Structure 1
């Protein structure tokens, strides 16, 4: 039962990460189509970036203490990328440069979404696997 709980927890953490990155992507698309001004768009994106980084760190910690090594190894490159952005202070969106960087920021978020969808599929697979394993006993 503990294995099922841990997989549900990772499932919801990955879903939360997908929602946060999707929100950032929607803010960038709204900026690109001029539905929102650059200040509001940058503020919305910057408000979600640190919770995204913390959620990814907690997810990796949960995978580490639960012993799900494959999923941990799959999650570490994303965590490394986030830590590298934070250390070099490139994690926040600059209001004055957001129009020049909107295409790069969108590509970056699309890559994150693709990576998280892959993690989500693996998480669902292992969740279903753990449910069927418990039914056998």
Structure 2
């Protein structure tokens, strides 16, 4: 059971890292004016809910399998994703002012996901 949870969490974490990198690249394209704000928002909006579901899935898996330390590490990020879902959606408005803020948020999330990946790999080896 523990190995299956850990392998599923590793796969989930790799998907989250991919999504964080995708968000950073898309926001960088917006900042450099390679794409317009409406195209950027439509690209990013369709991945907000899958990102939240993946993060919450990993958090719930750790809760169900009683890995409290990893659950407590994932809980703030899951709470942030749920908060961001209801408050900070990427709409087709003037996002240029907040592009740097959004990009720094996703860089922070990428660091958290890389940390989780490292913890899951260590947990899988033990």
The residue matched to 1:29 in structure 2 has which SS? helix
Q: Is the contact made by 1:49 and 1:91 (CA closer than 8 Å) also made in structure 2?
A: no
Runs of 5+ consecutive residues of structure 2 not aligned to the other structure: none
Structure 1 residue ranges, 4+ long, deviating more than 3 angstroms after superposition: none
The residue number in structure 1 matching 2:32 is 33
Which one of 87, 92, 95 corresponds to residue 92 of structure 2? 95
- Residues in 2 aligned to 1:94 and 1:44: alpha-carbon distance in whole angstroms: 11
Cα deviation 1:39-92 (Å, max 9, x = unaligned): 111111111011101111111111111111111111001011122223xx3231
- Residues in 2 aligned to 1:55 and 1:66: alpha-carbon distance in whole angstroms: 17
The residue number in structure 2 matching 1:51 is 50
- Residues in 2 aligned to 1:35 and 1:83: alpha-carbon distance in whole angstroms: 29
Could you tell me how far 1:5 is from its partner in structure 2? 1.5
| 2:61 pairs with 1:42 | no
TM-score normalized with structure 1 length:
0.86
The residue number in structure 2 matching 1:134 is none
Matches within 5 A, 1:1-137: 2-86=1-85, 89-129=86-126
Q: Aligned Cα RMSD in Å?
A: 1.2
